[in-house]
Amino acid sequence: MAQLVQQHGNVSVHQLYRRLETVGKGAYGSVHKGIHIPTGSVVALKIINLDTADDDVEDIQREVALLAQLRDAPNVTKYFGCYMDGPRVWIVMEFAQGGSVLSLMKASRDGCIEERYVSVILREVLVGLSYLHKVPVIHRDMKAANVLVTSVGKVMICDFGVSALLATTSSKRNTLTGTPYWMAPEVVQTVPAYDTKADIWSLGIMVYEMIKGSPPHANLDKFKVMDLIPRAKPPRIPEGEGSKDMRDFVALCLKELPSERLPADELAKTKWIKSVAKTPVAILKDLVLRLHQAGPRASLAEPLPWEEEEERE
């Protein structure tokens, strides 16, 4: 386990970082806003419970190694290090004040984001994806919840490695790689092996999700959806909703055959993305402002079960 941790003599993580409010929870643990005590800079603290089998620890080691390898990747959350804290590991990452695109959707009317913002978000996501795909890393869980926006409008892909991590861990976590509604047909079928083009499909679903407020088949149970995806015609954004260029972009992502989907580099050259070539990311500050005006979400403010235990001790 030692190679997982950055060695800082006997310095405890609690001397370096102070945890502020909880900003997200998942099966694997929780994400918090935090402060780096020596500098006062704001960070994201992802705290994973390690009360699991040894192979889970290996998965976390793999994720951390991947994050470290991607330190220079554009538009990917920056990784600052990780620390042991009893049965938990703290992974320290760049913090995004605007939260996820999903939280920005929830603060918007009808839960949808206007196309003028969606195109800029996509342009930025494509920069990150094209870098990842050359590594090659498959994200495996592209969706609005896994794209973050900072207070200045910078867009970052997050939570990859975690999808890979969750796929191989014990059954109490995700047994599937990714989230069914965004999954490519070949991922649901698991044969043949899938490649980076699986992310391109998910990207198309993500545009659909931002424009429509939820992914296709969101009203169905996830097992029904997995049965449906390989058999249904690829989803399309209906005519009259958004521009033709955007609908064409979605159609280029959502092709049944992976080989027919355009790679990230090529998608960046499409008419729709080219149309916002000169639009600064600062336009996304409108969305962040909207979120802050909506006020905090109380559901994430309460302490986690293990925090309550520690407070009682």
The DSSP code sequence of 93-115 is EE--TT-BHHHHHHTSGGG---H
Determine which one of 51, 55, 85, 141 is catalytic: 141
* Sign of the alpha-carbon torsion through 100, 179, 51, 64: negative
Which residues have C-beta within 8 Å of that of residue 183, sequence separation ≥ 6? Answer: 176, 198, 201, 202, 226, 229
Q: Which of 174, 173, 175, 200 is nearest to 186 (CA)?
A: 200
Long-range contacts from 267-274, C-beta under 8 angstroms, 24+ separation: 267/126, 267/200, 267/203, 268/123, 268/126, 268/127, 268/130, 270/245, 271/245, 272/119, 272/122, 272/243, 272/245, 272/246, 272/248, 273/119, 273/122, 273/123, 273/126, 273/249
Token digits for 139?
Answer: 């994200």
Q: Among this protein's residues, is 141 annotated catalytic?
A: yes
Token digits for 201?
Answer: 């499909």
Please state, in angstroms and rounded to a whole number, the distance separating the CA atoms of residues 28 and 166.
8
Which residues are documented as binding site? 46
Which residues are documented as binding site for ATP? 46
Which residues have C-beta within 8 Å of that of residue 283, sequence separation ≥ 6? Answer: 116, 117, 120, 153
Active site residues per annotation: 141
